[in-house]
Amino acid sequence: MKKSIFLIVTFLAGGIGITRAQLSGGGDLNPDLKAPAKTQEKWMDLRVGLSVHWGPSSLGGEEISWSRHAKIKKETYDNYYKEFDPTKFDAEEWAKLMKRWGVKYMAPTGKHHDGFCLWFSDYTEYDMENAKLKVDVMDQLATACKKHNIMFGSYYSNLDWYHPDWAPYQYGGPGPLIKAQADSPNLERYFKFMENQVIELIEKYDVQFLQFDGEWDSTYTHEVGSRLYRRFHEVKPNILLSSRIDIGRRSAGQGNQSEMDGAKYCGDYQERERVVNHGNDVISWLDHPWQAWVTIDKTQWSYNRDPVLLTDDELILDLVNVIGHNGNYMINLGPRPDGSFEPEQIALMDELGIWLREHEEAIYGTRGGPFYPFKQGVSTRKGKKAWLFITDPKTTELILPKVSQTLKSAKVFDTKEEVLFKEENSTLVFDLSTVGSTGPVRVIELRFDHVVEMSPVKR
């Protein structure tokens, strides 16, 4: 008997009543279906997540999956699992680092396009059970994350270049551990394989959300995505499935990471990927749940012997801009083959963690606003408070539209010094001439007489 799942489009967010259009959910083929609003709100409250691209491919030092047959011989790549010996992988240590970095949720690449699985799967031999070091990475991470109150999810590639039933064959085609059948490739059989594996992740490791990827081939259709969306919600009604369970991104046009038809296509939150070396902009305002998915290395997602890293200021500014546009921020790291993180990346994430601890009230549990993003920065809000993040160091006066609530005070977040402001007609004018900063962004705390709502004025 199918579990009942109810469409919910009206809910309370931070004490503010919001009616949300059907911009997330089951799309036009599952109009009755949507993740519970409380689950979406809980995920949005977390604000800061960690993605980890990792597996046997790290032994090659090139990009996971994409280097197979392109930069690394297929036979060499496909045999890395035999040498994959991550003796320094310590899920407990990873979880402690995440706590230190201010990370509230995480997802490893359970299965990337190369088909290798970071868990002991009942549906393939190409997994950690057959690696040199037989450790169920997903099991250990799920346990450690639960212990440290970190929401645990998984990345899963819709396509699989290793599997003989997937088509089209690319980046070397099928691998040796999955036997082709007389009628391979057989897409219906492959989609059943995908369904079984995702349900395995849900039921064995209690994943709370799934990041899908690889929906761009024409063989993956809107009908397939819609069917799987329904199936996975039947297994776990409160699971959150990214928009790449369906083809909304593909249908919006090649390279489009921001705009997609959320009324037609499935997804409980929108995934926006900053493609390495493309410099594509993933930042634009959305009222419904969305996530910027970016990597700390500007050139690669997985382990790179010669990375080009963001600076700590770039990382903080990037996070602030995303959260001020009402999104979550998921930063990606690529561990070394032995399961440890590069010291330089640990140090960079430590800087982010320090900044987040100092400003946690203005980040976690907030929503973008009450002011829509403005030229000089962004804002966040929670209850009767709001915070201005001034990203332009030259700004000495800031003019913003008034909101319905009365502004009672404005103070520098760090020092609590008063910031002068005045009301002029339909605007609020802030004097920032004496507000300095020792970091990449100046933060101003605002207090209102009532729970603050969004300004009706968009810029």
DSSP string, 199-267: HHHHHHH--SEEEEE---STTS-HHHHHHHHHHHHHH-TT-EEBGGGTTHHHHT-TT--S---TTTS-B
- For 176, the token pair is 């040796």
Q: 304-323: b or e for each residue (b if 16 or more CB lie within 10 Å)?
A: beebebbebeebbbbbbbbb
Task: Quote the pLDDT of residue 260.
Answer: 80
- DSSP, residue by residue, 59-93: GGTS-TTTTBTTTB-HHHHHTGGGG---TT--HHH
CA 50 to chain centre: 7
pLDDT above 50 (res 403): yes
Per-residue pLDDT of 116-148, as tens digits, reads 999 999 999 999 999 999 999 999 999 999 999
- DSSP, residue by residue, 171-212: TT---TTS---TT-S-HHHHHHHHHHHHHHHHHHH--SEEEE
102 secondary structure, DSSP code: T
Answer whether 120's CB lies under 8 Å from 129's CB: yes
- For 74, the token pair is 């297929």
Answer whether 269's CB lies under 8 Å from 289's CB: yes
Ramachandran angles phi, psi of 146, nearest 5°: -60, -40
pLDDT above 90 (res 334): yes
State the number of CA atoms in the 13 A half-sphere of 84 facing the CB.
31
pLDDT above 50 (res 1): no
Mean pLDDT score, 299-312: 97
Cα dist from 53 to 38, 107, 129, 413, whole Å: 29, 9, 19, 35
Answer whether 245's CB lies under 8 Å from 229's CB: yes
End-to-end CA distance of the chain: 49
Pairing mode, if any, of strands 377-382 and 385-390?
Answer: antiparallel
Q: What are the residues facing 422 on neighbouring strands? A: 429
Ramachandran angles phi, psi of 271, nearest 5°: -100, 125
What is the Cα–Cα distance from 55 to 74, expressed in whole angstroms?
A: 16
| CA nearest neighbour of 369 among 260, 459, 435, 429 | 459
Task: Quote the pLDDT of residue 20.
Answer: 38
Task: Quote the pLDDT of residue 328.
Answer: 98
Tell me the three state secondary structure of residue 408.
Answer: strand
| CA nearest neighbour of 395 among 345, 452, 454, 442 | 442
Answer whether 78's CB lies under 8 Å from 162's CB: yes
Mean pLDDT score, 352-363: 98
Answer whether 155's CB lies under 8 Å from 108's CB: yes
Task: Quote the pLDDT of residue 252.
Answer: 84
Q: Who has greater pLDDT, 15 or 387?
A: 387
Per-residue pLDDT of 4-27, as tens digits, reads 333 333 333 333 333 334 478 999
Per-residue pLDDT of 186-228, as tens digits, reads 999 999 999 999 999 999 999 999 999 999 999 999 999 999 9
Q: Which residue has 């999956």 as its token pair?
A: 65
Task: Quote the pLDDT of residue 423.
Answer: 95
Task: Quote the pLDDT of residue 16.
Answer: 33
- Domain ranges in the chain are 10-362, 369-448
Mean pLDDT (the chain) is: 93
Task: Quote the pLDDT of residue 459.
Answer: 64
Ramachandran angles phi, psi of 155, nearest 5°: -85, 145
Mean pLDDT score, 273-294: 85
Task: Quote the pLDDT of residue 259.
Answer: 73
Task: Quote the pLDDT of residue 254.
Answer: 64
Sheet containing strand 442-448, edge to edge, reads 367-368, 377-382, 385-390, 442-448, 407-412
| CA nearest neighbour of 149 among 199, 228, 208, 68 | 208
CATH topology of domain 10-362: TIM Barrel (3.20.20)
- For 283, the token pair is 């930042």
CATH topology of domain 369-448: Immunoglobulin-like (2.60.40)
Cα dist from 118 to 47, 121, 304, whole Å: 26, 9, 19
Q: What are the residues facing 401 on neighbouring strands? A: 427
What is the Cα–Cα distance from 17 to 350, expressed in whole angstroms?
A: 37
Q: What are the residues facing 18 on neighbouring strands? A: 11
Q: Which residues contact 1 (CB under 8 A, 6 or more apart)?
A: none
What is the Cα–Cα distance from 74 to 72, expressed in whole angstroms?
A: 6
